[in-house]
Amino acid sequence: MSKGLLIWIMVIFSLSQLGAAGKIWYVKDGSNGKKGLSWEEAFGDLHQALKSAKPGDEIWVAAGIYVPTYDGDRTVPFRLVNEVSMFGGFAGHEKAKEERNFKLNETILSGEIGTASADDNSYTIIYAENVSMKTVIDGFVISDANANGTDAGVHPNTCGAAWFNIGSSPFILNCTFRQNASREGAAIYNYAGKNGKSSPRILACNFVDNKADLDGGAIFNNGDNGECLPRIESCYFENNISTYGAGIMNRASNGVTKATVIECKFVNNKSLVRGSAIYNHRDKSGLCTSMVKDCIFEDNLASVGKDISNTLNNGMAGGN
């Protein structure tokens, strides 16, 4: 385990302890509990826990498949609550978070809300607006969202199929994002918003088989007119597809995007044009950079260049 990863785990553990005085809300697939304050009385619907929780509380979710809606409304996501942390990977009897096993007990947040076709899947599974670093999401599989809407601009119906962040800085760890599709940022779209800031910390997550029609096959970091400062560490990116930035797309126009990418592995990601792993695009008076350290790149493919590419203010392209 790297020193950096150990430090972040310690930080996250410390943050999780801040909410220890709050309530724990329990969610279990198939349960019909009314109170939600024990495994025996667990809610069967994650929305019930999110509506009940207050800042400082935790939500423990047992293995199973949870969908944002049962009526086919594609616009309904799970909306995070500021300073409420969610932990997946429980069997449904544990007394402490340390007893869970998120690899064995898959806790799936799924966009599969309609027919077997992906055409009617949820636009966005998780929506976060103005949540802080005290909002910890740990141990989930987030899959099968399809943000194929027609809305113009940055919108959760077209961006961030698995997860749409606006002005938010949550901790996201031990999560797997798979088989999500959108116009941009198929797994996660981090958007500063006008004069806003988005600084999520993404640790030990997997991004597999996600596809963007345009940019950001897995992650899109957008600092347009604001500040986007994500830290992405010890993550794995495989078989993500886009036009630019199959793994990570960074953009800033009249704003700032500075992405820190540490000890990540990029394997078999494909960009139709540039940036098979990471693409940095700055425009007008924007500042867009990425600090990449100790990463591994294997068999990524782009039409021009390869793993990391940049577009500068004058439109000139660079990178390998």
Q: Is residue 43 part of a domain?
A: no
Q: How many domains does the chain have?
A: 1
Spatial CB neighbours of 32, under 8 Å, sequence gap ≥ 6 = 44
Which alpha helices (DSSP H) does the chain contain, by range? 3-18, 46-52
pLDDT for residue 317 is more than 60: no
Average pLDDT over residues 259-286: 94
What integer pLDDT is reported at residue 315 of this predicted model?
45
What's the token pair of residue 234?
């010890």
Domain that holds residue 88: 57-319
What's the token pair of residue 166?
């606006």
pLDDT for residue 261 is more than 50: yes
Average pLDDT over residues 31-50: 97
Report the chain's mean pLDDT, rounded to a whole number. 92
Q: How many CB atoms lie within 10 A of CB 192?
A: 26
Q: Is residue 83 part of a domain?
A: yes
Q: Is residue 243 part of a domain?
A: yes
pLDDT for residue 316 is more than 50: no
Q: Is residue 310 part of a domain?
A: yes
Contact 258, 232 (CB under 8 A): no
How confident is the model over 97-139, as pLDDT tens digits? 999 999 999 999 999 999 989 999 999 999 999 999 999 999 9
The pLDDT-based confidence of 12 (bands split at 50, 70, 90) is low
Q: Is residue 13 part of a domain?
A: no
Q: Is residue 52 part of a domain?
A: no
Average pLDDT over residues 219-234: 97
Average pLDDT over residues 294-306: 92
Q: How many CB atoms lie within 10 A of CB 314?
A: 5
Average pLDDT over residues 288-303: 96
Q: Is 22 helix (H, G, I), strand (E, B) or coil?
A: coil
- The whole-angstrom separation of Cα 5 and Cα 8 is 5
Q: Is residue 282 part of a domain?
A: yes
- The full length of the chain comes to 320
Long-range pairs, 88-95, Cβ under 8 A, ≥24: 88/61, 88/63, 88/138, 88/139, 88/140, 88/141, 89/63, 89/138, 89/139, 89/140, 89/174, 90/60, 90/61, 90/62, 90/63, 91/62, 91/63, 92/28, 92/39, 92/42, 92/62, 92/63, 93/39, 94/60
Q: Is residue 227 part of a domain?
A: yes
SS (H, E, C) 270-304: EEEEECCCEEEEEECCCEEEEEEECCEEECCEECC
